[in-house]
Structure formats: structure tokens, C-alpha cells
């Protein structure tokens, strides 16, 4: 049976209740972290787990997401234990991905309301220049 590819718009079945609580599902986290792993990263990770992941499953690994799903199938990762994933990301020096190994949704950054108000209500004064005027400080130094 061919594995179905999920688009970003499609939700995993277990995500229905998690959205209300501000959480990701484990598989959504795999999608997020796995898409940031390069082909080289996946090859190195597969080599490190050569004795853990069987040959058939290792042959099915084409992306970071596939590798993380294989880790889950081998019992190395679940919703309560990300230690193995965090350790692997540190080994391959992908420290930039460590904040994404969580089930908590990241909150959108809201602009500061005071700054927004000031930008909308401030008056900008623009003085017209003559075509031959140079910027102050960019001309020739005075002697």
C-alpha cells in the first residue's frame, strides 16, 4: 500500500482537539522539523541509526519527516519523550531546530499598539530639495 503524502492544508486526524488547546500533534511537529532537515542531515541520521532501523524501513526514508516517523515506529519517540530527537539534532549541529521540537503552538507576534498608533497619527515632514543639492556630510570637506 503506497503511503499517502499529506499537504500542509490537510490536518492529521489527532489534531482536531489539539488546536483548541494551542498544541500541535506529534506528526505535525514531525512535518515542521522534518521539512527543515537537509538531504545530508537525513543521510547522517540514517547512518547513525543503521543498527536500530531495519533495512526495509531505512530504504523508505526519503526526507526528515520519514526519518522521524521511522523513529516513532521503532519506539524511540512519542508525545511524551523527545529526548532522542533533541539529542540527534545536537549531534548533527542543527541547534536552530531545537525550539521547534515541542507540541506547543508558537504564538503570533502582535505589533505594539502604541507604536502602531504613533505611526498612523504622526505627520511626516518632507522638505523638497533642489536637483543640485548634496546630502549634508557627503560633500567635500571644508578647509
DSSP, residue by residue, 25-78: -HHHHHHHHHHHS-HHHHHHHHHHTTTTS-HHHHHH--SHHHHHHHHHHTTS-B
* CA distances in angstroms from 114 to 107, 108, 123, 124, listed in the order given: 20, 18, 16, 17
In a domain, 131, yes or no: no
Domain that holds residue 93: 18-101
Report the CATH number at residue 33: 1.10.533.10
* Span 109-122, average pLDDT: 78
In a domain, 123, yes or no: no
Here the cell at position 68 is 522521524
In a domain, 116, yes or no: no
In a domain, 56, yes or no: yes
Residue 130 has pLDDT above 80, yes or no: no
In a domain, 57, yes or no: yes
Domain count along the chain: 1
Residue 40 has pLDDT above 90, yes or no: yes
DSSP annotation of 94 reads -
In a domain, 39, yes or no: yes
Give the pTM. 0.60
In a domain, 89, yes or no: yes
In a domain, 12, yes or no: no
**Closest to 72 measured CA to CA, from 118, 117, 18, 28:** 28
Amino acid at each position: 500500500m503506497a503511503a499517502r503524502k499529506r499537504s500542509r492544508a490537510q490536518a492529521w486526524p489527532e489534531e482536531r482537539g489539539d488546536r483548541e488547546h494551542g498544541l500541535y500533534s506529534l506528526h505535525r511537529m514531525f512535518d515542521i522539523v522534518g521539512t527543515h532537515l537537509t538531504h545530508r542531515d537525513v543521510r547522517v541520521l540514517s547512518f547513525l541509526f543503521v543498527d536500530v532501523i531495519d533495512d526495509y524501513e531505512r530504504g523508505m526514508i526519503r526526507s526528515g519527516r520519514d526519518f522521524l516517523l521511522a523513529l516513532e515506529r521503532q519506539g524511540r519517540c512519542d508525545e511524551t519523550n523527545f529526548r532522542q530527537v533533541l539529542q540527534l539534532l545536537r549531534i548533527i549541529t542543527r541547534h536552530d531546530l531545537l525550539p521547534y521540537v515541542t507540541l506547543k503552538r508558537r504564538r503570533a507576534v502582535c505589533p505594539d499598539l502604541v507604536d502602531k498608533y504613533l505611526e498612523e497619527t504622526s505627520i511626516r515632514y518632507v522638505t523638497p530639495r533642489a536637483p543640485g543639492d548634496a546630502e549634508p556630510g557627503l560633500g567635500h570637506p571644508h578647509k
